[in-house]
Amino acid sequence: MATLNKIRKHGVLLLIVVGLALLAFIVGDFVNSSASFFSESSANVAEINGQNVKVRPYMEAIEQMTEVYKMEIGDANINDELTEQIHQAVWETTVRDKVLQHETEAIDMEVSETELYDLMMGKNIHPMISSRRIFFNPETHAFDPAIVAQFREMLDGDNPNVSADQMRQWKYYWTFWENNVKMSRLEDKYNKLISNLLVVNSLDAQNSFDNKKASVDFVYATKSYFMIPDSTVTVSDSEIKTLYNKKKEQYKQEATRDLKYVIFDIKPSEDDFANAESWINNLKPTFETTTDIVSITNSNSDVTYKGNNLSKNEVDADFRDFAFSGKQDACMGPLFVDNTYKMARIVETGISLPDSIKLRHILVQGDTEEKTQLLADSIEQALKGGANFAMLAQQYSKIAQTAAKGGEIGWVKENELEKDMAVKAFKANTNELFQLKGIYGIQVLQVMERSAATPKVKLAILARKVVPSSTTQARIFQQAKQFAYENTTPEKLEESALKEGLSCRPAINMDINQTRIGKLKNSRQIVRWAFKNDLNTVSDIFECEDQIIVAAIVKINEKGYKPLADVKELLLAELRKDKKADLLQKEMSGKTIADFAASANAEYVVDTLRGITFSTPYAGSVGRELELFALASMADKDQLSNPIKGAMGVFVFDVMNKTISQQPFDKNAEIAELNKNHYMLPYLGMEVLKKAANIKDERYKYF
Q: What is the pLDDT of residues 655-672, one digit of tens each?
A: 999 999 888 888 888 888
Q: State the Cα–Cα distance between residues 111 and 95, nearest whole angstrom.
A: 19
pLDDT(134) > 90: no
Average pLDDT over residues 93-120: 95
Q: Residue 333's pLDDT is what?
A: 94
The confidence band for 13, taking pLDDT boundaries of 50, 70 and 90, is very low
The residues, any chain, with a CB within 8 Å of residue 701's CB and separated by 6 or more, are 45
Q: 602-634 pLDDT, tens per residue?
A: 789 999 999 999 989 999 889 999 999 999 999
pLDDT, position 600? 62
- DSSP letters of 342-382? EEEEEEEEEEEEESEEEEEEEEE--SSHHHHHHHHHHHHHH
**Residue 479 in this model has a pLDDT that exceeds 50:** yes
Q: Quickly state the pLDDT bin for 39 (edges 50, 70, 90).
A: very low
* Residue 481 or residue 138, greater confidence: 481
Question: Region 371-396: what's the mean pLDDT?
Answer: 93
Q: Which residues pair with 543 in a beta bridge?
A: 548
User: What local confidence, expressed as pLDDT, does residue 139 receive?
Assistant: 65
User: Residue 507 has what pLDDT?
Assistant: 97
Estimate to the nearest angstrom the gap between the alpha carbon of 646 and the chain centroid.
Answer: 40
Q: For residue 270, what pLDDT band results from cuts at 50, 70 and 90?
A: very high
Residues 6+ apart with CB under 8 A from 8: 15, 77
Report the pLDDT value the prediction gives residue 42, as an integer from 0 to 100.
58
* pLDDT at 141 (0 to 100): 74
Where does the pLDDT of residue 530 fall: very low under 50, low under 70, confident under 90, or very high at 90 and above? very high
Q: Which of these ranges, 28-37, 147-156, 278-287, 351-360, has the smallest mean pLDDT?
A: 28-37
**Per-residue pLDDT, 675:** 78
CA 259 to chain centre: 25
Answer with the residue of higher pLDDT: 677 or 237.
237
Identify whether the C-beta of residue 129 lies closer than 8 Å to the C-beta of residue 177.
yes
φ, ψ for residue 330, nearest 5 deg: -70, 150
Q: pLDDT band at 9, cuts 50/70/90?
A: very low
Q: Which residues contact 303 (CB under 8 A, 6 or more apart)?
A: 297, 342, 461, 462, 463
Tens digits of residue pLDDT in 214-251: 899 999 999 999 999 999 999 999 999 999 999 999 99
Q: How confident is the model at residue 161 (pLDDT cuts 50, 70, 90)?
A: low
Paired strand residues for 657: 217
Average pLDDT, whole number, for the chain? 88
Q: Residue range 16-20: average pLDDT?
A: 35
Could you give all domains of the chain from N- to C-terminal order, each with its CATH number?
2-195+695-701 (no CATH), 213-249+564-660 (no CATH), 255-267+469-558 (3.10.50), 270-353 (no CATH)
Is 462 within 8 Å of 280 (Cβ atoms)? yes
Statement: residue 23 has pLDDT above 50 = no
Q: Is residue 327's pLDDT more than 70?
A: yes
